[in-house]
Amino acid sequence: MGDGADAEPSPALVGARQAYLDHLAVERGLSQNTLTAYRRDLDRYVRFLTTRGRAEPAQVTESDVRAFVTSVRTGEDGSRPLAASSTARVVAAVHGWHRFCLLEGLSPSDPAGEVRPPSQPRRLPKAISTAEVEAVLEAAGTGEGPVPLRDRAVLELLYSTGARISEAVGLDVDDLSLEPGLGAARLWGKGGKERVVPVGSFARDAVEAYLVRARPALAAGGRGGPALFLNTRGARLSRQSAWAVLRQAARRSGIGRAEDVSPHTLRHSFATHLLAGGADVRVVQELLGHASVTTTQIYTQVTPDTLREVYVAAHPRALR
C-alpha cells in the first residue's frame, strides 16, 4: 500500500459512487441484495483508488483498474482475496461505474473499458438425481403439525417451478393459481421482471394441503398478511429460514453430498431434468427467467459418463 492507505476517500469519489448506486436503484430497479453487493465492491474499489492518490473519477487510469483486479484476486489491498467468479462480479461493478462516470461527464474516458475479469473454469451446475430430489421432498414433510406441511410445500414448489429462493419466499397467496391442470405461479425475478410458470400436480397438492391444514395455524400468530409461506410467528418466511428447511431435509433424507445441497441445487436439478426429458432449451430459459439463452445452455453440456453411455449403446462396434 502507498502513503494513502489510511486516508479517507475524497468526496468526489464517494459522491460518484453513491450517484451510481442511486442510478442502479431508481433507473435499473436492481434488488436490494444486488445493490448491497455493488456497494461493497465499489467501497473496496474507492478505498483502493484512494491509496493510489486518486481523488476523482477523471484521474483513474487503466493501470489503476488492472492493479485493482490483481489486488482483488491476491488480497494485496488488505481485504479477503476473491475467487475468479467473485472477481468477475467486482469487475462488472467497476465497469458499470466507469461507464456511468463517462456518461455523466465525471470522466473524459472509460479506463476500465479494456480490462477483463480473470477467466473462470466452465463448470456444470450441481444437480441431484430425481430419486434424490424425491428423498429430500419426502424428508421435508416428516413430522406432525403445520411446519412439515409448509416445508414440503416450499420445496415442492421450488423444484416444480425452478424458482430462485427469493422468488419463492416472495410469493403472496394471490400469486398462485391451483386449478387442476392449470396450476401456475407468478414469480418476480431479478430487476422486478415478472414471469408466470406452471406448477406441477405434486407441488399443487402440497401447497393446497399447506393452505388448508397449516397456513391458518401459522397465520394466527401474526397479522394475517398476504405472504404465501409463513414462519411460526405468522410473518413471511425468510430466505435464510427456507434455506435451513432444505438443508435439514437433505440431511434427514440420507442422500450423498447432503451438505452440498442448496436452494440453487433444486433450481439446477429442475433445469437439468427438464432438458434430459427432452425440453427445448429456450423453454427452459423462459421458465428460469434467464435474460440470455447462453446462461441456460450450460445445462446442455454432455458429461463424459453420458458420452460413454451413448457411445456404447449406439455404436455398432463398441462392444463385442
CA–CA dist 296, 23 (Å, integer) = 28
Give catalytic status of residue 315 as yes or no.
Answer: no
Angle at 207 between CA 205 and CA 209, to 5 degrees: 70
Give catalytic status of residue 28 as yes or no.
Answer: no
- In sequence order, what are the beta bridge partners of 185? 176, 197
User: Of residues 98, 152, 164, 268, which has the active-site annotation?
Assistant: 164
User: Of residues 47, 152, 267, 268, which has the active-site annotation?
Assistant: 267
User: Of residues 38, 45, 210, 299, which has the active-site annotation?
Assistant: 299
Give catalytic status of residue 273 as yes or no.
Answer: no
310-313-315-316 Cα dihedral, nearest 10 degrees: 180
Give catalytic status of residue 164 as yes or no.
Answer: yes
Distance linking the first and last C-alpha atoms of the chain: 67
User: Of residues 73, 89, 186, 190, which has the active-site annotation?
Assistant: 190
Q: Burial of 245 by CB count in 10 Å (0-12 exposed, 13-18 middle, 19+ buried)?
A: buried
Q: All 3 cell numbers of residue 61?
A: 487510469
Give catalytic status of residue 299 as yes or no.
Answer: yes
Give catalytic status of residue 95 as yes or no.
Answer: no
CA–CA dist 30, 92 (Å, integer) = 14
Q: Burial of 103 by CB count in 10 Å (0-12 exposed, 13-18 middle, 19+ buried)?
A: exposed
> Do residues 155 and 266 make contact, with C-beta atoms less than 8 angstroms apart?
yes
Tell me the catalytic residues: 164, 190, 264, 267, 290, 299
